Structure 1
Amino acid sequence: MRSILLLAYLFLQTAAAWALKPSREWVATPDSLALRYQTTALATPDHAQLAGWIVEPAANVPDQHTTMVLAYGDMNNMSHWLYQAQALSQGGYRVYLFDYRGFGHSSDFAIERQRLYYPEFTTDLRTVLADARQRFPRSRTGIIGFSMGTIMGSEVAARGGCDFLIAEGYSANPQRIVAEQFGRYQKTVTLPDEAADYALVARRVHCPWLLVGGTNDKNTPLADSVVVARQARWRQRRQVLCFDGGHLEGFYRLTEAAYGDKYVREVTRFLAGKRS
């Protein structure tokens, strides 16, 4: 158990960097963790080819009848998120992992390493979410996003068709990230033109939204998530789940008997409409 926690923690630390660092090589596949899964191959509206895995709920737990599309951060690929998928599967959730274009086994995409993110990644997430809804029409279907993936997640959720949004390490202000995180190191990082309108996205997210953040997160401060939750208007249900730790350490910190078990229980409470 200790070795699993350490490995998962190291994955999270490598996933916490900013600016794009995709990896083409999968470090593992779901069967290496004895997960029940199927592979998928999707085409986006602009003809990118996306590789994916659908991890089924564990056989020995109650099925939540819920599908979570996982949108990870700015580096590596979906294989680095298998421990999180395993924890969610043990909680009764179906988890749909995928590689953005230019990542993992998805199609080639010209990526400038100094770019923070590309709007095409939002297209990728929207395509996978639509596929999940089509495959599992009786399932509650939403997004769980991390770091850069919260940008994609909130943009997709703002367009509707999403039953819930879970965002850990919520990126509220890409411009500030570029100025503060990179300015001090005199490193040039660019943003897409679409980032100029990103500040307007949060107010258009109407599905239930759980914002998860660490008290010591220097990259995406917990205070940003608190502000977004407090800005909820009538019929917008938003809640903050905080933990003692840094950027993307939620599953690691919210662990009791098994990796991420407390994290998953808190997600379940939120989706059931309960407060922590």
Structure 2
Amino acid sequence: MVYAMFSAAVLLAIGAIYAGAVGWLYFRQERLLFEPDKLGPDEPICNDPDTSEFFVDVPGARLSCAHMRLPEPRGVFFFLHGNSGNLKKWFVDLEAFRQANFDVVMFDYRGFGKSSGEIESEEQLRADVEAVWNHVAPMYAGKRVVISGQSLGTGLAAGLAARLCSDGHAPDLTLLVSPYSSMRALAGELYPWVPLQVLRYPLHTLEHAAKLLGPVMLIHGEKDELIPIHHSEQLVSAMRSAHLVRVTGAGHGDVHQFPTVRKALMSALGRL
């Protein structure tokens, strides 16, 4: 009897701890998903003379944006970055785009860099992406459009590209670097003990992938342990016209440093 009561008490305690951990994850998961670094208001993102900074006002926040503008660009490379750092980390290595004659636009999510506010939902994230794109899109009417994302940004990029396709304005290229089939699927692999219903950022990239029109290129490191390459393989199988660049020896955070990636990017932009 005493043993049974003790066992029941232990199980109740374990259940309470588990429920508390799951509850914390539900309400505070932004701390796990996003790793922003702040930038001071007077700290420049980039000192190159052909770059500038601007802000886009959205409900409850101002989004910090960086723009490389060339005299007569062929088009624009609209890039959505990963879950850490800020534009000072991501708005770099611009020479390849100068050579391809493409402008570059990036922005920091809420709470990153000089952007104010806090990320509160996937819907808010996607609305912010749309707001920044709608701000710059009129500058590139009739020009080439590349929608791109890396890691976290791939789900957002696929969503924007799918929406443009549905409106009859398919990007000339959708480029996804180290993508996931969905954040929910990835979370199930990394944290199998957590109920999937807890995740408030499911980011179903695969659902958008099937709606993409026009060329799609995926780039993925074969040694990526954070987002395994089978996510890209699954995405490619769902797309109408997609090409997967497998980067031998590359992991997750270093894939952009491999010459294979630069060569593939320059080749893709040159064909547009």
Band the TM-score falls in, shorter-chain normalisation = 0.7 to 0.9
**Is residue 213–residue 250 contact of structure 1 (8 Å, CA) maintained in 2?**
yes
1:251 equivalent in alignment to 2:265: no
User: 1:75 and 1:81, CA in 2 relative to 1: closer, same or farther beyond 3 A?
Assistant: same
Distance, in Å, in 2 between the alignment partners of 1:196 and 1:122 is 10
Task: Report the TM-score, using the length of structure 2 for normalisation.
Answer: 0.74
Q: Which runs of 5+ in 1 are unaligned?
A: 1-16, 112-116, 255-261
- 2:207 equivalent among 200, 206, 218: 200
Distance, in Å, in 2 between the alignment partners of 1:162 and 1:129 is 14
- 2:144 equivalent among 140, 143, 148: 140
Distance, in Å, in 1 between the alignment partners of 2:44 and 2:55 is 18
Give 1 or 2 for the bigger CA radius of gyration: 2
Give the structure, 1 or 2, with the largest relative contact order (CA under 8 Å, sep 6 or more). Answer: 1
1:229 equivalent in alignment to 2:243: no
1:38 equivalent in alignment to 2:45: no
SS at match of 1:201: helix
Distance, in Å, in 2 between the alignment partners of 1:227 and 1:20 is 25
1:129 equivalent in alignment to 2:133: yes
Identity over the aligned pairs, expressed in percent? Answer: 18
Q: Deviations over 1:122-165 (max 9, x none)?
A: 22222222222212223212222000000101111111145121
SS at match of 1:212: strand
**Is residue 122–residue 203 contact of structure 2 (8 Å, CA) maintained in 1?**
no
Which segments of structure 1 move beyond 6 Å, counting only runs of 4 or more? none
**Is residue 155–residue 201 contact of structure 1 (8 Å, CA) maintained in 2?**
yes
Distance, in Å, in 2 between the alignment partners of 1:74 and 1:29 is 17
Task: Report the TM-score, using the length of structure 1 for normalisation.
Answer: 0.73
Distance, in Å, in 2 between the alignment partners of 1:197 and 1:144 is 16
Distance, in Å, in 2 between the alignment partners of 1:240 and 1:99 is 27
SS at match of 2:145: strand
| Paired position in structure 2 for 1:212 | 219
**Is residue 67–residue 132 contact of structure 1 (8 Å, CA) maintained in 2?**
no
| Paired position in structure 1 for 2:199 | 191
User: 1:23 and 1:162, CA in 2 relative to 1: closer, same or farther beyond 3 A?
Assistant: farther
1:100 equivalent in alignment to 2:106: no
SS at match of 2:92: helix
- Paired residues, number: 234
Distance, in Å, in 2 between the alignment partners of 1:35 and 1:189 is 47
Deviation at 1:190, TM superposition (A): 5.0
**Is residue 76–residue 145 contact of structure 2 (8 Å, CA) maintained in 1?**
yes
| Paired position in structure 2 for 1:14 | none
SS at match of 1:154: helix
